[in-house]
Amino acid sequence: MAVGLGSFPAIPNISGVRFAVVEAGIKKASRKDLVVFEIDKGASVAGVFTQNAFCAAPVRLCREHLLQSVPRYLVINTGNANAGTGKRGYQGALSTCESLASIVGCKVSEVLPFSTGVIGEPLPTDKIVDVLPNALASLDYGNWQDAGEGIMTTDTRPKGAYRQFEVNGKHYTVGGISKGAGMIRPNMATMLGYVFTDISIDQNVLQDLLKKTTDKSFNRITIDSDTSTNDSCIAVATGAAGNEKITNIQTELGLAFEQAFTEVMQELAHAIVRDGEGATKFVTVQVVGAKSQEDAALVGFEIAHSPLVKTALFASDPNWGRILAVVGRAPIADLDVDRVNISLNGCLIVSEGGRSDGYTEELGQAAMNPEEITIVIDLGVGECKDTVWTTDLSHEYVTINAEYRT
Amino acid sequence: MAVGLGSFPAIPNISGVRFAVVEAGIKKASRKDLVVFEIDKGASVAGVFTQNAFCAAPVRLCREHLLQSVPRYLVINTGNANAGTGKRGYQGALSTCESLASIVGCKVSEVLPFSTGVIGEPLPTDKIVDVLPNALASLDYGNWQDAGEGIMTTDTRPKGAYRQFEVNGKHYTVGGISKGAGMIRPNMATMLGYVFTDISIDQNVLQDLLKKTTDKSFNRITIDSDTSTNDSCIAVATGAAGNEKITNIQTELGLAFEQAFTEVMQELAHAIVRDGEGATKFVTVQVVGAKSQEDAALVGFEIAHSPLVKTALFASDPNWGRILAVVGRAPIADLDVDRVNISLNGCLIVSEGGRSDGYTEELGQAAMNPEEITIVIDLGVGECKDTVWTTDLSHEYVTINAEYRT
């Protein structure tokens, strides 16, 4: 199941970024399960990673390598998360980097490894190392859909997005891919997102922008409240567009880039929600009238994590009592229940803490029928707001997770 | 579905407590859906209630009445929660109390009202008031199973427990009933628990004991993380046993009572978990080696709320990677992943943060097959511990909650 996903977008070549997608046979045979990106020298690369204390071996290595070098290669396998694998897992990720570096003649720290799939199984490092020469020989400007497919796990579709914009006669492209359908409640990044651009931008400015934008995209989606061990999001700016390097985002070019970058990040994050495990609804939870943005986010996530709200969404049931019960237990101070208003797709159901006078079951049912649902909760006590995106909880989610080993 | 529930226990009469169970036709016809308890004068009565800010009208009224009087009557309806019903809901609960008080000639504040069922629908007060004379005329020492059945909603079985003990040749009884199967993550009490005893105990001592014991029983269970709007737990001590009134729990009789009372409270709480919506497993999550009891409880609840852990439990899948991922994202300070040990029903699966050397898939599978699963998580950084009880997440849970209006 997936909600409102169209076809994969026609992401254009991004100058300075080549890739290869090959079969390593990590979990399944005849599946392209390894993606290698090659980035031209002179690029800026920023990364954000999971805050899960049990982060995967490749996440630890990424953090170390980013402190030492600007990456030239990203190597991503699906089928095995290389998480909960201890020292052997770390050695496996390191061996992958060493092998790649020796073939192309770069530093080991110029390679970033990424893994996604089952947690706790030993990484079949040999299978990856064996196909690296073939992968490196076939690096090219290719079809981004292949790269999107090469990093999928329980995803039913590849996920990509791009924007192009023009400032002072120069043309720029921002494009990327993401994956994820379960164990999704990113904390500082999602598993996995890769965004590329040909713009020239300072490394620190890119890192700041990535952090800020992640909080408006991947860090505001949740499918099942479970933060992955492998979440990673990487932004690569090759500089091939030849603009004067952006050193301050508060310029015409900087702001145009921020807008395009934010839109690509949000589209990639939404694509994960739309392909959420078992999803039949794409749900936007807007909390407004809060005393702080933190309060708004807390209430939004409580709604998005409630099994009772999510099963009601699955049933297209305007069961507003469950939403109200969640707001009532949300861990925020100063909740005034008599000021709370709640609407579903524009239909006011709760007014001043009780059922709205004009509300009828027919209106509520009509509001709940579409695939896309927007829940607006007005706390009525302040001016702050935040938005969280999520899915419903369906039989298919249980089936997938009772059968699949994350 | 229900896990390991036996037949309803043979709870004896508790001197000073009579009850009636009648049909009011609140939601369904031909269903005994109203229970009235009559308590002799001179009893001590203690109560704890939901911390949900959107607490139901009867909960507000209970709190007010308990400040004014020692209750003589408890009136409990199922089929309608009288929550999210605003001023009209409050008036409905009050009318119920007024009607009962006028029939028996007691103060309105000596009546406590309780409701459970659908949230947000107007309470059919007339239906309740109409059957009160009949109910009051039939008050008697009756079959406790009838009372247990009279307060059920999505419960598949009535829930009861009792203990009897002897101190210095005197015999005492503690017995009670509870209900609940979904929207269960009690916060200060569950929806609903009633415990009765013939012991004589000071009101304040009973209230303190109820609070303390709730934190070891109802406040340590969770089915779906959703705290109800109607949670209430009431303890009634009639004093009919004729002992010298307990004014200090640290006496031989006080401690014997505390033990019996705690066991009854835990058995009633466990009965709710065993009858959790769609439950196929009864899961005990013990967190030990924590720096504080709060940390232990936080980790325990994170495990118990994780949809990925719960679906793995449903599949009897020893998917320890998911448990480890949850520990890694738990909001506690000072987590040292290299000290974490995890076992499933005595089978050590994670040792020092990684897969245990002696672990095999066969051992894990054998450990996960029983209906009753104990997960022990040793954080390895302190001496504190706590225990949480929960269920798995099954297709049946989704079916029940996609079809039922809470």
Residue A9 in any domain: the answer is no
Residues 10..39 of A with a Cβ closer than 8 Å to B: which?
none
Q: Which residues contact A307 (CB under 8 A, 6 or more apart)?
A: A393, B224, B225, B226, B307, B393, B397, B401
CA-CA distance, A175 to A236, in Å (whole number)? 10
Using a CB–CB cutoff of 8 Å, tell me whether B354 touches chain A: yes
Residue A398 in any domain: the answer is yes
**Strands A282-290, A372-378: pairing kind:** parallel
Residues B211 and B286 reside in one and the same domain = no
Q: Which 3 state secondary structure label does DSSP give B294?
A: helix
Query: What pLDDT was estimated at residue A334?
Result: 83
Domain with B31, as residue range(s), is 17-274
Query: What pLDDT was estimated at residue B287?
Result: 97
Tally of CB atoms within 10 A around A403: 11
CA B95 to chain centroid, in Å, comes to: 27
Q: Which 3 state secondary structure label does DSSP give B150?
A: helix
CB A229 within 8 A of CB B328: yes
Check CB contact under 8 Å for A328 and B398: no
Using a CB–CB cutoff of 8 Å, tell me whether B339 touches chain A: no
Residues A182 and A239 reside in one and the same domain = yes
Residues B113 and B209 reside in one and the same domain = yes
Domain boundary (B225, B256, B274) is at: B274
Residue B74 in any domain: the answer is yes
CA-CA distance, A302 to B305, in Å (whole number)? 12
Residues 44..83 of B with a Cβ closer than 8 Å to A: which?
51-55, 81, 83
The answer, yes or no, to whether residue B188 has pLDDT greater than 60, is no
Residues A206 and A148 reside in one and the same domain = yes
Q: Which 3 state secondary structure label does DSSP give A303?
A: helix
Q: What is the pLDDT of residues B275-288, one digit of tens each?
A: 888 899 999 999 99
Tell me the percentage of chain B whose pLDDT exceeds 70. Answer: 98
Tally of CB atoms within 10 A around A171: 10
Distance from CA of B44 to the nearest CA of A (A): 30
> In this predicted model, which residue has the larger pLDDT, A404 or B149?
B149
Query: What pLDDT was estimated at residue A84?
Result: 86
Residue A10 in any domain: the answer is no
Of the pLDDT bands very low, low, confident and very high (cuts 50, 70, 90), residue A29 is confident
Using a CB–CB cutoff of 8 Å, tell me whether A339 touches chain B: no
Residues A342 and A363 reside in one and the same domain = yes
- Taking CA atoms, B222 is separated from B271, B273, B394, in Å, by 12, 7, 15
Query: What pLDDT was estimated at residue A85?
Result: 87
CA gyration radius, chain A: 22
CB B386 within 8 A of CB B300: yes
Query: What pLDDT was estimated at residue A191?
Result: 67
CB B72 within 8 A of CB B38: yes
Residues of B in contact with A120 (CB under 8 A): 320-321, 324, 355
Q: Which 3 state secondary structure label does DSSP give B53?
A: coil
Tell me the percentage of chain A whose pLDDT exceeds 90. Answer: 71
Q: What is the pLDDT of residues A287-343, one digit of tens each?
A: 999 999 999 999 999 999 999 999 999 999 998 889 998 999 888 988 898 899 999
Q: Residue A292 belongs to a domain with what CATH number?
A: 3.10.20.340
CA-CA distance, B176 to B147, in Å (whole number)? 10
Residue A11 in any domain: the answer is no
Residues B111 and B226 reside in one and the same domain = yes
Q: Identify the bridge partners of residue B76 per DSSP, sorted by sequence position.
A: B35, B114
Query: What pLDDT was estimated at residue A120?
Result: 84
Residues B322 and B342 reside in one and the same domain = yes
Task: Read off the DSSP letter of residue B30.
Answer: T
Widest pairwise Cα distance in chain A: 72
Q: Residue B195 belongs to a domain with what CATH number?
A: 3.60.70.12
Angle, CA of B367, B373 and B375, to the nearest 5°: 90
Residues A294 and A245 reside in one and the same domain = no
Phi, psi of A386 (to 5 degrees): -160, 165
Q: What is the pLDDT of residues A139-165, one digit of tens each?
A: 999 999 999 999 998 888 899 999 999
Residue A12 in any domain: the answer is no
Residues A291 and A192 reside in one and the same domain = no
- A306, with CB counted inside 10 A (0-12, 13-18, 19+), is buried
Residue B1 in any domain: the answer is no
Residues A70 and A155 reside in one and the same domain = yes
- Taking CA atoms, B126 is separated from B25, B26, B273, in Å, by 11, 10, 34
The Cβ-side half-sphere exposure at A356, using a 13 Å CA radius, reads: 18
A226, A337, A344, best to mutate vs chain B, most B CBs in 10 Å: A226
Taking alpha carbons only, the member of B372, B358, B369 closest to residue B317 is: B369
Roughly what angle, to the nearest 10 degrees, separates helices A293-305 and A320-329?
130
Residues B184 and B301 reside in one and the same domain = no
Domain boundary (B274, B303, B322) is at: B274
Residues A360 and A379 reside in one and the same domain = yes
Residue B395 in any domain: the answer is no
Count of structural domains within chain B: 2
Domain boundary (A274, A297, A314) is at: A274
Query: What pLDDT was estimated at residue A288?
Result: 97
Query: What pLDDT was estimated at residue A228?
Result: 78
Query: What pLDDT was estimated at residue A231?
Result: 84
How do the residues of chain B divide into helix, strand and coil, expressed in percent and rounded to 5? 35, 25, 40
